[in-house]
Amino acid sequence: MERTAKINRVTKETSVDLSLNLDCPSKTAIETNIPLLTHFISALALHGRIGMTLSATGDVDVDAHHLVEDVGITLGMALNQALGDNRGIARFGQRLLPMDDALVLCALDISGRGQCYWWGAFPTHAIGTIGAEVWPEFFHGLARSAGVTLHMRHLAGTNAHHVYEASFKGLGQALKEAVRKTGDELPSTKGML
């Protein structure tokens, strides 16, 4: 059974159309009206070995926040849909990811309890015209809508581009580990996630 999802999320501020395939990473096409977001999501998909088509636009003339957060929410919804009842998944994933001066830890549990814990001295300066405060909103939105416990920890680095790109790549790597098929049982002693 293919683990796929298709989500179309339209608000007064954004339009996000996303298709996801956890088992066929070869088809990926990412397009947003924030080039840096396109770059980061492309890195997440590549390093997570996730097939993804994404077309997303938002009111970026107001602020990048709406689109960045809504893409995170939509990706989380798609992950939740594609995983279904979570039977047979590894459930846990983690990655310590270096990128030049940056070192970021991403650890996650597909637990059904969506929460993001954001720790450390992540850079607070903008990358180009995009303020640093928008990037945690992507991870918070994804964690809540996917039902994933997500820990993001900044361990080193001052170059904001490197730190946030490492965060997206680390999330991709951790997701790749957590969603891999290991059998057909539910990975919980409680009998549910």
Whether the Cβ atoms of residue 47 and residue 165 lie closer than 8 Å to each other: no
Q: What is the pLDDT of residue 25?
A: 83
Within-domain flag for 192: no
Cα 176 to the center of its chain, rounded Å: 11
Q: Would the pLDDT of 135 be above 90?
A: yes
SS3 8: strand
Determine, yes or no, domain membership for 80.
Answer: yes
**pLDDT of res. 150:** 98
User: How crowded is residue 185: how many other Cβ atoms within 10 Å of its Cβ?
Assistant: 9
How would you class 124 by CB atoms within 10 Å of its CB: exposed for 0-12, middle for 13-18, buried for 19 or more? Answer: exposed
- CA dihedral angle for residue 15, residue 146, residue 43, residue 118, rounded to 10 degrees: 110
Q: Which residue has the higher pLDDT, 7 or 189?
A: 7
User: Quick check: is 9 in a domain?
Assistant: yes
Please check whether residue 184 lies inside any domain of the structure: no
20 is a domain residue: yes
Under the phi-then-psi rule, with left for phi > 0, alpha for psi from -120 to 50, and beta for the rest, what region is 112? left
Question: How many residues are present in the chain?
Answer: 193
Which domain does 14 fall in, by range? 4-179
Mean pLDDT rounded to a whole number for the chain: 95
Taking the CB of residue 71, how many other CB atoms lie within 10 A of it?
A: 28
| pLDDT tens readout for residues 71-94 | 999 999 999 999 999 999 999 999
pLDDT band of residue 193 (cuts 50, 70, 90) is low
Digit-coded pLDDT (tens) for 93-104: 999 999 999 999
3-class state of residue 3 by DSSP: coil
Number of structural domains found in the chain = 1
DSSP string, 167-188: HHHHHHHHHHHHHSB--SS-S-
Read off the CATH number of the domain in which 82 is found: 3.30.230.40
Residue 188: which pLDDT band, with cuts at 50, 70 and 90? low
Q: Which pLDDT does position 189 carry in this prediction? A: 64
In a domain, 170, yes or no: yes
Residue 51, in any domain of the structure: yes
Kindly tell me if the per-residue pLDDT of 1 is higher than 90.
Answer: no
Kindly report, residue by residue over 24-41, the tens digit of the pLDDT. 888 899 999 999 999 999
Are 172 and 42 spatial neighbours (Cβ–Cβ below 8 Å)?
A: no
42 pLDDT exceeds 90? yes
